[in-house]
């Protein structure tokens, strides 16, 4: 019965995130994770910037300590909830904790807001500055001199890439945790795996770069993120066409998406961007500026349309439909194990 309660809490947390998002009156767990990563990474960078080996082992410590602490906090709450026969207070903590692991509302709303500003208003200097600031918050590239078309492309690439590590990755691992609870309460559960995955994605976004000291400090974090996102990314690849108008071209789209996605250095982000690009028929990739360097990313769906407000709205609809499809799949699997 306890695992059924956990499953219902899981479903409720998805709905809560879709409708409400992250409540402003609650401190988000990522803030704590981010402060810890920032504190420890700054320590190693400031004191051992020229020592590659120390940076590497420091990165190993940061990665395992961040993930370990996140896991233990989640496991502690799970155990109290399960051993107390579904205590209401700890049930609420799990509900809010699971909801905080999923970023559907915040991710789609931020990108929609950008596309609305570009498409629905007269672009004066003040509005253009506001758009650049909003885009810069969700991308790592430098958009200070980007055109409006490039800002829309950057937003679309952020939305399609982060949909996996911000939405479908957490959903996958939370569900795995719920299934584990059917066998033993001492196995990793939904909150412990959800918090762990959130820690992994935060580590990757903060220190998982390939330049300067971060290519040593963030090496382990980036690799862990690659492995933990491998299965969710490919599950998105095989299921997204099922909720799109391209379902009749299912095998062709998967083949093209896989081929284009493999051109990227990341084993997951290219796959994620490609399947969304083909199902919404947009062209992604091209030149982008990172710090003082121009990077030419491989083109995805070279015959696709340019990114527009309508295309971004379509991608957001696809994300919602795919979440609903996953919920149906998860429910069928859960009650038939």
| pLDDT tens digit sequence for 144-174 | 888 888 889 999 999 999 999 999 999 999 9
CB 185, CB 83: distance < 8 Å: yes
pTM of the predicted protein model: 0.93
pLDDT in tens, 226-247: 999 999 999 999 999 999 999 9
- Report the candidate in 196, 205, 152 with the shortest Cα–Cα distance to residue 174: 196
User: What confidence tier does 1 reach under pLDDT thresholds 50, 70, 90?
Assistant: low
User: What confidence tier does 25 reach under pLDDT thresholds 50, 70, 90?
Assistant: low
CB 272, CB 161: distance < 8 Å: yes
- d(C-alpha 53, C-alpha 64), whole Å: 17
Q: What is the pLDDT of residue 125?
A: 80
Q: Which long-range contacts (CB under 8 A, 24 or more apart) does 265-271 make?
A: 265/210, 266/226, 267/226, 267/230, 267/233, 268/164, 268/165, 268/226, 268/229, 268/230, 268/233, 269/161, 269/164, 270/298, 270/300, 271/233, 271/234, 271/236, 271/237
305: left (phi over 0), alpha (psi -120 to 50) or beta: beta
**What does the pLDDT average to over 280-307?**
88
Q: What is the pLDDT of residue 277?
A: 96
Average pLDDT value over all residues in the chain? 91
Neighbours of 64 (CB within 10 A): 13
- Report the candidate in 251, 235, 266 with the shortest Cα–Cα distance to residue 167: 235
């Amino acid at each position: 019965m306890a695992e059924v309660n956990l499953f219902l809490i899981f479903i409720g947390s998805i709905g809560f995130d879709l409708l409400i998002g992250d409540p402003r009156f609650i401190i988000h767990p990522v803030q704590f994770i981010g402060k810890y990563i920032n504190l420890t990474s700054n320590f190693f960078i400031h004191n051992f910037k020229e020592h590659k080996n120390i940076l590497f082992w420091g990165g190993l410590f940061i990665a395992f300590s961040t993930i370990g602490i996140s896991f233990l906090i989640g496991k502690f709450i799970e155990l109290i909830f399960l051993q107390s026969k579904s205590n209401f207070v700890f049930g609420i903590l799990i509900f809010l904790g699971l909801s905080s692991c999923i970023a559907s509302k915040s991710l789609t709303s931020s990108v929609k807001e950008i596309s609305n500003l570009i498409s629905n208003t007269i672009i004066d200097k003040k509005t253009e500055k506001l758009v650049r600031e909003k885009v810069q918050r969700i991308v790592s590239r430098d958009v200070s001199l980007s055109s409006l078309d490039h800002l829309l492309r950057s937003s679309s690439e952020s939305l399609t890439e982060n949909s996996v590590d911000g939405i479908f990755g957490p959903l996958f691992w939370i569900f795995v945790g719920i299934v584990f609870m059917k066998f033993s309460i001492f196995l990793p559960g939904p909150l412990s795996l959800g918090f762990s995955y959130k820690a992994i994605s935060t580590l990757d976004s903060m220190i998982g770069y390939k330049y300067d000291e971060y290519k040593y400090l963030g090496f382990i974090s980036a690799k862990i993120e690659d492995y933990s996102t491998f299965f969710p990314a490919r599950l998105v690849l095989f299921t997204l066409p099922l909720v799109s108008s391209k379902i009749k071209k299912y095998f062709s789209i998967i083949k093209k998406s896989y081929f284009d996605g493999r051109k990227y250095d990341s084993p997951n982000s290219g796959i994620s961007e490609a399947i969304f690009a083909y199902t919404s028929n947009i062209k992604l990739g091209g030149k982008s500026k990172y710090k003082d360097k121009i990077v030419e990313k491989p083109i995805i769906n070279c015959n696709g349309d340019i990114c527009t407000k309508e295309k971004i709205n379509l991608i957001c609809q696809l994300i919602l439909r795919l979440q609903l499809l996953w919920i149906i799949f998860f429910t069928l699997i859960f009650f038939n194990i």
